[in-house]
Amino acid sequence: MAPRKVIITCAVTGSVHTPSMSPYLPVTPDQIAADAIAAAEAGASILHLHARDPR
């Protein structure tokens, strides 16, 4: 049997809406970009992103 191909998607901002819900939530553009780059370096092919206003 041939190996199965996998596509990894990363939802950087996820379903958590505020930093008080998780200390790991990226909020600023720089934090979101850093997490997106880290996800790509870890093997993610797709970034699922909900843009947020850091204010």
Which residue type sits at 44? A
List the chain domain ranges.
Answer: 9-48
Element (H, E) at 50: none
Check residue 51 and give its pLDDT: 79
**Rounded mean pLDDT, 10-34:** 87
What number of other Cβ atoms are within 10 A of residue 13's Cβ?
19
Would you say residue 5 has pLDDT above 80?
A: yes
pLDDT exceeds cutoff 80 at 48: yes
Element (H, E) at 31: helix 29-41
Q: How many other C-beta atoms are found inside a 10 Å radius of the C-beta of residue 2?
A: 4
* Predicted TM-score (pTM) above 0.85: no
pLDDT value, residue 37: 98
Q: Which letter does DSSP use for residue 10 in this model? A: E
